[in-house]
Structure 1
């Protein structure tokens, strides 16, 4: 294992701190946590619990139903629903670990609590360009997922002996979802090594696949069909496509958190499409997701025009403009990037 950006002094300090000073630990994923955020949080929490720590996960908001099947019994508090209890845990915590995000703003309603936390803060993440808001940062953008990174981090601090079935199940889920069932971000052999090690704990990979990808409501499936048939626009001249969804349309299909997970990937299945965008109307802003193939930088596009960022081929952002203006802006920008889109090799 090679963690290029993290010095041994960090691993040594964390190992010593966990052995001596840390008894109460809080783990926080980003807002609207996906499979990697939830899997990484649960996987790390299980390992720390097995080492003798008191561990609680506090999620800024609720997470999707299709991520509520884990074997783990680690307590997960939803901050926006249980603020009093969450703040009590934070007040007692010796260590706060931020997982799978690189800026306190990504924790939304918990940003104030994270920045104001007075004890030790640790960041473990695989997104590029981390903001310096924690005392110690483990940032490794070459990793496929934060879950893969946590497996190696645990080894570096000498805690691999605390891995068990429940932690392996959660970390595998994080890798599975952030690679789209091993369809992207899989160029490094280390990811497959980690998966191989996790499978030695007897996890049921077929069951995990089914729980993640074959566990949706009929409303979600109808929403997907509607989006592909009615709301997807394809621009062959720019090798791009966009899906846009209004608040009213979400309500029509009884939207629940996580229902639009993965929608942005579908247009990339179209022949010769290398760039896909998904815009969802929220209260007061428009949420944006971007996916690309090859060398087209979805993160730079998002950062330059939609106040976002992320990975080369997977990024997010938002717009404060109204919904229609946001979609129109995206369409106008495609001509600016036409040469780059046409030159993208896949």
Structure 2
């Protein structure tokens, strides 16, 4: 098992022994790992008898609404007053699946000035210094796997029942792309095997997440591949861009473009992919890479982002056209890395 015990100092263990009012928070545009980790940890803490609440900055993808406890999550952009009140009254604030405070969006200011003890539980590289304690394990493919190990270290192993396991399995499955990346450690599969012993139906979970889209989403995918996909074989790169108007045409809802950036790897030889989404005040970017091309460093250097070696996000305040132009013009400088291997 991965050794997470070194992160659990006596002080941290004491916090979990008598935590008081707990609030779990995760990042803007929460994904399957963020929500799966949050809900899994929520149920563990509830089963211990602790008072616990959950907050996300903005909307949760619809394909995660089936997860147990989903409706207990406070969405700040819908109920900001309640979210801020929970943060102000918290005695222990636990950050899950992000490594910088700006990932809290409009909750950042309230979070930073809160008097509660703060703990970061994450697996992304280079965690920022914005909490009192950091539990960071970058070798893991998901925050959900990290919470599994922490549960064992904190004496909660017997509390990992079917409800907890459904949530944690969802986090692990989604953040490893159904075990297609960031999942080379044998221990990950031992964790999954243990979760399966609780009686979860992995096929049902997969269908709820990946086979639960609307006809409009499928048409949007078809349009994206047929009309908006650009392939640059000279840089082993492919990307898709979508405007607000195009998204509206296909009745886009949060989560509809999930996975678009990964589909581009189906093209032979592609090592770098990107998805550019036009928002009201910025361009949201998803990056993926294969092999030793560190897309997190590329995103951090050029697009105010970060993430993992082969999966990262970014943002641009330029127009969509200008953002794509910037991206394409950067590629010659990385040609050697992209074309090697």
Pick the TM interval, shorter chain.
over 0.9
Whether the 8 Å contact between 1:48 and 1:162 is mirrored in structure 2 is no
Q: Is the 8 A contact 2:304 2:314 kept in 1?
A: yes
Which shows bigger deviation, 89-98 or 244-253? 89-98
Q: Is the 8 A contact 1:280 1:288 kept in 2?
A: yes
Deviation at 1:288, TM superposition (A): 1.1
Decide whether the 8 Å contact of 2:87 with 2:111 is kept in 1: no
Corresponding position: 1:17 with 2:9: no
**What number of residue pairs does the alignment pair up?**
341
Q: Quickly say closer, same or farther: Cα 1:11–1:159, change in 2 above 3 A.
A: farther
Task: State the shift of 1:12 in Å.
Answer: 3.1
1:135 aligns with 2:103: no
Report deviation, 1:73. Answer: 6.4
**Equivalent residue of 1:287, what SS?**
strand
Contact 1:289 1:317 in 2 (8 A): yes
- 2-structure distance, mates of 1:47, 1:94: 18
Residue 180 of structure 2 corresponds to residue 183 of structure 1: yes
CA apart distance, 1:3:
3.7
- Preserved contact between residue 39 and residue 147 of structure 1 (Cα < 8 Å): yes
For 1:12 and 1:193, how far apart are their aligned partners in 2?
A: 28
Deviates more, 1:193-202 or 1:37-46: 193-202
Separation in structure 1 between the aligned mates of residue 240 and residue 327 of structure 2, nearest angstrom = 11
The secondary structure found in structure 2 opposite 1:337 is helix
Question: Contact between 2:144 and 2:168, CA under 8 Å: does it hold in 1?
Answer: yes
In structure 1, the residue matched to 2:95 is 98
Confirm whether residue 145 of structure 1 aligns to residue 142 of structure 2. Answer: yes
CA RMSD of aligned residues (A): 1.4
What does residue 165 of structure 2 align with? 168
1:14, 1:157 within 8 Å by CA — same for their partners in 2? no
| 1:253-272 alignment runs, 5 A limit | 253-272=250-269
Is the CA contact 2:91–2:115 (under 8 Å) kept in the aligned structure 1? no
After TM superposition, give the deviation of residue 212 of structure 1 in Å: 0.4
Partner of 1:7: 6
Contact 1:240 1:273 in 2 (8 A): yes
Structure-2 separation of matches of 1:40 and 1:277: 26
Give the drift of 1:74.
6.7
- Gaps of at least 5 residues in structure 2 are none
1:304/1:73 CA distance change after superposition, 3 Å: closer
Partner of 2:292: 295
Query: Is residue 56 from structure 1 mapped to residue 58 from structure 2 by the alignment?
Result: no
Kept in 1, the 8 Å contact 2:39–2:70? The answer is no
User: In 2, distance between residues paired with 1:118 and 1:71?
Assistant: 30
SS of residue matched to 2:134: strand
Shift of 1:158: 1.8
**For residues 106-138 of structure 1, what are the alpha-carbon distances to aligned partners after superposition, in whole Å with 9 as ceiling and x for unaligned?**
111111121112111111011101101011111
Equivalent position of 2:227 in the other structure: 230
Counterparts in 2 of 1:276 and 1:73: CA distance versus 1, 3 Å: closer
Residues 35-83 of structure 1, C-alpha deviations (whole Å, 9 max, x = no match) = 0000000000000000011111111111011000013367111111112
Residue 221 of structure 2 aligns to a residue whose secondary structure is helix
Query: Comparing 64-73 with 163-172, which one deviates more in the overlay?
Result: 64-73
My pick for the range that moved more, 74-83 or 208-217, is 74-83
> Structure 1 residues 224, 74: CA separation in 2 closer, same or farther (over 3 Å shift)?
closer
Secondary structure of the 1:289 match is strand
Q: Is the 8 A contact 1:296 1:340 kept in 2?
A: yes
* 1:252 and 2:258 correspond: no
Show the counterpart of 1:211: 208
Scaled by the length of structure 2, the TM-score of the pair is 0.97
